[in-house]
Amino acid sequence: MTTTRQRTALVTGAGRGLGRDIAALLADRGYQVTVTDLDAETAAAAAAEIGRGATSAVVDVRDHAQVEQARDTLVAESGGIDVWVNNAGVLLTGSAWDQSAEQRKLHLDVNTLGTINGSVAAIDAMRGVSPGSRGGGGHIINIASLAGISAVPGEAVYAASKHAVMGFSSSTTADLRLAGVTDIDISCICPDGIWTPMLYDKLEDPRAALSFSGVLLQPSDVVRAVGKVLDKPRPVTAIPAWRGAISRLGAAFPRLGAAAMPLMEKQGRRAQKKLLRTNGPTRR
């Protein structure tokens, strides 16, 4: 008699905000979800709220051993991992020379190394290399940013960390294909500014103006994009698409991009002031 294994998923930084909403989407789609977060109570509360068999784990994505432990626990319970979402991230604004060495390191350790740690752990399970895993392929979704495509004044180190995520993701996909692995996909989601806890305290920060210069997204906008790539994997999804086109144009023609920055920064400052007057958009 053949038994069908329930599909499984793990989401990092899922105790609140966007990560929790992505975990809920996966649970809605029938996945057994593991919610990970730095804080045990936050992760457990999110898993309880999501329900449907969701579990929680304390994971510092900077620590590869902790990442592997969460993976191995899920694999031991289910036999494999189908979807892994690298969502955990930090955003500290300011010019690189104004930030401390600790702040610069935090960006790279969480945003870049955390994504690498998660992706490598997931790939080992999806290839059947890690203990107890059966392989069978899977899908890795990396929450990147439009800051990973073009220049973002006031967020230089953050942008560097997200550029690294983009380069790592595309290069690792190429490595998988060259190794003959065709059943593991890696998708990068590159949203504009999202109204989540990451931006709640940035309304009076002029260095964060670029994050407010476009259409301020709600988490649900990004969740929908995740749902689409789950149905049809694609390497890069920019949200909204028109801002992605502008970012790519600025990256292709740096002088043009630099010339447009002052105008975009002014637009972002106007948006910040308007949001301050209205107490911000509805928080979801």
pLDDT at position 279 is 65
Task: Return the active site residues.
Answer: 158
Percent of the chain with pLDDT over 70: 96
pLDDT at position 284 is 37
Q: Which conformational region is residue 79 in: left (phi greater than 0), alpha (psi within -120 to 50 degrees), or beta?
A: left
Any domain includes 42: yes
Give CA separation, 258 vs 174, 208, 243, 265, in Å: 31, 16, 16, 11
Degrees to nearest 5, angle at CA 241 with 82 and 164: 60
pLDDT at 283 over 60: no
Token pair 């595309």 is at which residue? 170
Any domain includes 72: yes
Percent of the chain with pLDDT over 90: 71
The CA distance from 188 to 241, in Å, is 14
The CA distance from 16 to 25, in Å, is 13
Token pair 């400052």 is at which residue? 269
Any domain includes 2: no
106-127 mean pLDDT = 98
pLDDT at 113 over 70: yes
pLDDT at position 281 is 63
Cβ atoms < 10 Å from Cβ of 79: 17
Structure confidence by residue, pLDDT tens digits, 142-200: 999 999 999 888 899 999 999 999 999 999 999 999 999 999 999 999 999 888 777 77
Give the pLDDT band of residue 235 (cuts 50, 70, 90): very high
pLDDT at 41 over 50: yes
257-268 mean pLDDT = 79
pLDDT at 68 over 70: yes
pLDDT at position 280 is 64
**Total of domains in the chain:** 1
Any domain includes 284: no
Indicate which CATH number applies to the domain containing 123. Answer: 3.40.50.720
Consecutive H or E run containing 177: helix 156-178
Any domain includes 210: yes
Query: Residue 124: which domain range?
Result: 8-277
